[in-house]
Structure 1
């Protein structure tokens, strides 16, 4: 075999290996002609590229073979991804192909989320695609509202500073400086006052200690008094007081019902009228004795007349009580 033939064979082998390697990197294996291919549409591929891996439940089953713009008029600007499967795993057309990032710093891959309901997917079908939020995308979505609020706060702070600059003109700044100086003098006076108070406290430390001792003694005395009151038999005293009140209530009830002499006197109008008549007759008798004393002197002596008057009065009272 000549040297030229050997060189030609080596060149052909090298060219073949280059073609195979190029297609392998693109996800196409020239030695496997029975592979299936599918399509999926996206608006953004999130760093997906040709030769990215295709997995099912974490197992590599294929590669992305081609990415191009969508030719459909209604989906102009979208992207059409073609991937091949080297596995005969069966799934339905309802399955979802998701773009995900296996690591924050790595590229994106495709993951097939298999669905087994409906017709089985065949080579050339277009599957439904979705995009999984990456770590940075999720952080960005969370930071967007914060950034918006921060912008609003900065705008408010800027408006506030502008307003302060408008309010604090030269005259206002001088007035503010005077106020600050006055506040400084006030703080100095407060310090002097506190120093004087400290001096008074130091000079009267013994008196304060004696006052606190006396206060403690008074507190102990109050504590002892409260202890004595707690130990006193207040329950028996309260019971006796309740018994006395019950007796008083019973007495008042008897008086109200007309029981006894006092009750009859309070409720019986006849007794009241008799006593009233008796007092009137006694009054008339005394008046008659004052007006005509001679009518009573020649019959009885003064002592006998008084005794007789007393007996008659007592007799009348007894008769009234009996009635």
Structure 2
């Protein structure tokens, strides 16, 4: 069968058109021969376009099929298709987020990992994630206030610095820098002098540190000797002795024992005092009349004469 030239031309044109459509969709990342599942969601406002991608964890897995405004609910209804290999729960959410700094938006499927697997044609709930630009727009007033506070603080700092320099001319600032330089040089000289002093007395400082180390070692040995000497037992024995002395003092105060009775019994004290007086008188009489006591064995008795006050006072 002979094909006419017109038919051949038509077939060639149609083939070119089909090839162009295939290449165009291929460059867009779509495949005409692959099937897809379609789902629905809705938002309070529309910030999507037909070229907005549908992603999962940053990977493109679908596209926007249609965007319509629902006059009854006042919401934007969006239909999108994803590759059938993607399985996610019906309880998942479709998140509207900002894709890049230029304000492009995209949809992301956030899988809930529980519930029944979503089927083609199901309605999926949506949520909106604020982008960086919108966050900056909301917080711009606060940022501007903070910036104004910072600028006012900087102005106050500069004013205080100007108050420190009385002369506002260039020479005044130069003089202030020169004085600061002189101060730094003086500090450098002091540091150098201190370094030289340490260098000259290096041996003395080393000897001092060595003596301190030796003293610390001897002190440690002394503490060890005190521990070995069982100082705690000595303190316990001393406490016991103090307790016994306290008990003895308590007994004396209560009149216990001979010494306690002597301290507490007034009659005994008076008897001892009287006996002491009589002994004193006896010794005085022996001194005044010794002949009387040399004749103790003789039959002649010398009568006792009580001494006078003058004799008692003189002796």
TM-score, L = length of structure 2 = 0.55
- Report what 2:66 is aligned to: 66
- Report what 1:98 is aligned to: 94
Checking the alignment, whether the CA contact within 8 Å between 2:93 and 2:125 is kept in structure 1 is yes
* Cα displacement (A) at 1:151: 4.3
Distance 1:139 1:264, change over 3 A: same
Q: 5 Å matches for 1:213-252? A: 213-235=210-232, 237-252=234-249
Checking the alignment, whether the CA contact within 8 Å between 2:55 and 2:106 is kept in structure 1 is no
Matched residues in 1 for 2:40 and 2:158: separation? Answer: 63
Aligned-partner SS, 2:166: helix
Checking the alignment, whether the CA contact within 8 Å between 1:45 and 1:79 is kept in structure 2 is no
Q: Is residue 255 from structure 1 mapped to residue 252 from structure 2 by the alignment?
A: yes
Cα deviations across residues 229-281 of structure 1 (Å, max 9, x unaligned)?
Answer: 333243554454345334423432332332222111222233345456x2897
TM-score, L = length of structure 1 = 0.54
Checking the alignment, whether the CA contact within 8 Å between 1:41 and 1:80 is kept in structure 2 is yes
- Report what 1:189 is aligned to: 186
- Report what 1:200 is aligned to: 197
Matched residues in 2 for 1:107 and 1:250: separation? Answer: 97
Checking the alignment, whether the CA contact within 8 Å between 1:54 and 1:64 is kept in structure 2 is no
* The one of 148, 166, 175 aligned to 1:171: 166
Matched residues in 2 for 1:143 and 1:65: separation? Answer: 31
- Report what 2:289 is aligned to: 301
Matched residues in 1 for 2:55 and 2:195: separation? Answer: 82
Distance 1:192 1:271, change over 3 A: same
* Cα displacement (A) at 1:96: 6.7
Distance 1:199 1:38, change over 3 A: closer
Larger relative helix fraction: 1
Aligned-partner SS, 1:79: strand
- Report what 1:3 is aligned to: 4
Checking the alignment, whether the CA contact within 8 Å between 1:98 and 1:110 is kept in structure 2 is yes
- Report what 1:79 is aligned to: 76
Distance 1:142 1:280, change over 3 A: farther
Distance 1:65 1:181, change over 3 A: closer
Q: 5 Å matches for 1:2-151? A: 3=4, 6=7, 10=11, 40-42=41-43, 43-49=45-51, 64-68=64-68, 70=69, 72=71, 75=74, 79-82=76-79, 98=94, 108=106, 127=123, 129-131=125-127, 133=129, 151=144
* Cα displacement (A) at 1:72: 1.5
* Cα displacement (A) at 1:86: 11
Cα deviations across residues 97-141 of structure 1 (Å, max 9, x unaligned)?
Answer: 72568x97998457597976xxx9997x9x4641464xxx66557
* The one of 149, 158, 170 aligned to 2:151: 158
Checking the alignment, whether the CA contact within 8 Å between 1:54 and 1:112 is kept in structure 2 is no
- Report what 1:312 is aligned to: none
Distance 1:202 1:303, change over 3 A: farther
- Stretches of structure 2 that go unaligned for 5 or more consecutive residues are 85-89, 297-315
Checking the alignment, whether the CA contact within 8 Å between 1:65 and 1:84 is kept in structure 2 is yes
* The one of 259, 263, 266 aligned to 1:266: 263
Matched residues in 2 for 1:196 and 1:84: separation? Answer: 83
* Cα displacement (A) at 1:159: 1.7
Superposition RMSD in Å: 5.9
